[in-house]
Amino acid sequence: MADLSVKISDLHLKNPVMTASGTFGYGLEFADFVPLEEIGGIIVKGTTLKPREGNDYPRMVETPQGMLNCVGLQNKGVDYFIEHIYPQIKDIDTNMIVNVSGNSPETYAETAEKLDALERIPAIEVNISCPNVKEGGMSFGVTCSGAASIVKAVREHYHKTMIVKLSPNVTDIASIARACEDEGADSVSLINTLMGMAIDIERRRPKLSIRTGGLSGPAVKPVAVRMVNDVAKAVKIPVIGLGGISTAEDAIEFLMAGATAIQIGTANFLDPQVTIKVRDGINDWLDRHGCKSVTEIINCLA
């Protein structure tokens, strides 16, 4: 049994397997399938200052080895989260992390400040990369100055571990990551979904209600691995890798590319027990290769 524990700034993870925001609900939805406390960290659904209804149906299209979604950050707002959801999840014995979105530096900061007060939420993931909202979201994540403005504002009001989730819809993701690091981010996670589109050729219309959506699933994995490696070379803060991971072998690729931890997203839909299988698979691989700790393979490329 190898030591699977890793550290993301002040955050101690039992193992490097986390769940990606928007794919695992609040964890509770999967409690029948996996022991939640055995997951390294659970990143809950994107939360905003005010409630959001999200976009119209249809919000999802199946694509080759993946799916497009344009959910659009449907959530009941941070106050509802604090009052109704936090009490249900605060005693889950793992890192419960809240993904935060907004439409201005001020709304991000205000949401983060409210979450700062929650004892059992040790970190937030600041989402500057949602491709499915008109205002805010990804618009901040595609320029260095936009990313910096959000990270700076949140940093002033949030004192625990701040992870910033990056958009792949940029020409140079490493420069965005550096901008976040410079403003005090503790970690960056990548990649959010890749913007895409699918067309119903009989009706000659986009298949999604808002025309475009974010692509996830195994189809995006090679893009994600490359970007994780680019970013890991560019920053000193720990990198969290995600994008199409569905097996332990996938996860190990990300770790070797420079990720300290990984997130599993879309694969939870195909196998609700995938998180624990990936954790066990990483352990088996380490044992087979005589590694005593998972840290031996992080950023280990020759």
Partner 1 sequence: MKKYVLDLKVSSVERVNARNVLIRLTDDKPLPEMLPGQFVEVRVDGSPSTFLRRPISINFVDIERNELWLLVATVGEGTHALARLRKGDMLNCVLPLGNTFTPLASSSERVLLVGGGVGVAPLLYFGKQIKEAGGTPVFLLGARTAADLAEISLFEQYGRVCITTEDGSAGEKGFVTNHSVLSTERFDRISTCGPKPMMKAVAHYAYQASIPCEASLENMMACGVGACLCCVEKTTEGNLCVCKEGPVFDTRRLMWGE
Binding-site members for FMN are 21, 45-46, 99, 127, 165, 191, 217, 243-244, 265-266
Active site residue 300: no
Q: Which of residues 149-188 bind partner 1 (CB under 8 A)?
A: none
CB neighbour list of residue 289: distance below 8 Å, 6 or more residues apart: none
- Least separation in angstroms between residue 270's CB and partner 1 is 7
Residues in the chain: 302
Which candidate, 234, 178, 34, places its Cα nearest to that of 18?
34
- Least separation in angstroms between residue 71's CB and partner 1 is 5
- Which residues are paired to 98 by β-bridges? 44, 124
Contact residue for partner 1 among 63, 143, 175, 212 (CB under 8 A): 63
State which residue, 64 or 290, has the beta carbon closest to partner 1.
64
State which residue, 132 or 161, has the beta carbon closest to partner 1.
132
Contact residue for partner 1 among 30, 86, 158, 254 (CB under 8 A): 30
CB neighbour list of residue 174: distance below 8 Å, 6 or more residues apart: 230, 231, 233, 234, 235
The string of DSSP letters for 156-174 reads: HH--SEEEEEPPS-SS-HH
Cβ neighbours, 10 Å, residue 142: 19
- Which residues are paired to 187 by β-bridges? 163
Q: 248-257 and 274-288 helices cross at what angle (nearest 10)?
A: 70
DSSP-derived pairing of the beta strands 123-127 and 161-165: parallel
Residue 270 to residues 4, 191, 260, Cα–Cα distance (Å): 25, 20, 25
Kindly state whether residue 281 participates in binding partner 1, applying the rule CB under 8 A: no
- Least separation in angstroms between residue 172's CB and partner 1 is 30
Residue 15 to residues 12, 123, 299, Cα–Cα distance (Å): 9, 16, 16
d(CA 121, CA 118): 6
Q: Sheet containing 66-69: which strands, arranged edge to edge?
A: 60-63, 66-69, 212-216, 194-197
Residues annotated in the binding site, as ranges? 21, 45-46, 69-73, 99, 127, 165, 191-193, 217, 243-244, 265-266
- Least separation in angstroms between residue 145's CB and partner 1 is 31
Q: Which x/- pattern, by CB under 8 A, does the window 70-109 give for partner 1? A: -x--x-----------------------------------
- Least separation in angstroms between residue 41's CB and partner 1 is 16
Residue count at the site for partner 1 (CB under 8 A)?
Answer: 33
- Least separation in angstroms between residue 118's CB and partner 1 is 21
Kindly state whether residue 54 participates in binding partner 1, applying the rule CB under 8 A: yes
Sole window of 49-57, 132-140, 173-181, 185-193 interacting with partner 1 (rule: CB under 8 A): 49-57
Residues annotated in the binding site for substrate, as ranges? 45, 69-73, 127, 192-193
Kindly state whether residue 119 participates in binding partner 1, applying the rule CB under 8 A: no
Kindly state whether residue 60 participates in binding partner 1, applying the rule CB under 8 A: yes
How open is the CA angle 206-44-130, to the nearest 5 degrees? 35
Q: Which of residues 220-279 bind partner 1 (CB under 8 A)?
A: 266, 268-273
* Residues found near partner 1 in the complex (CB under 8 A): 22-25, 29-30, 32-33, 45, 53-54, 56-60, 62-67, 69, 71, 74, 217, 266, 268-273
> Which are the catalytic amino acids?
130
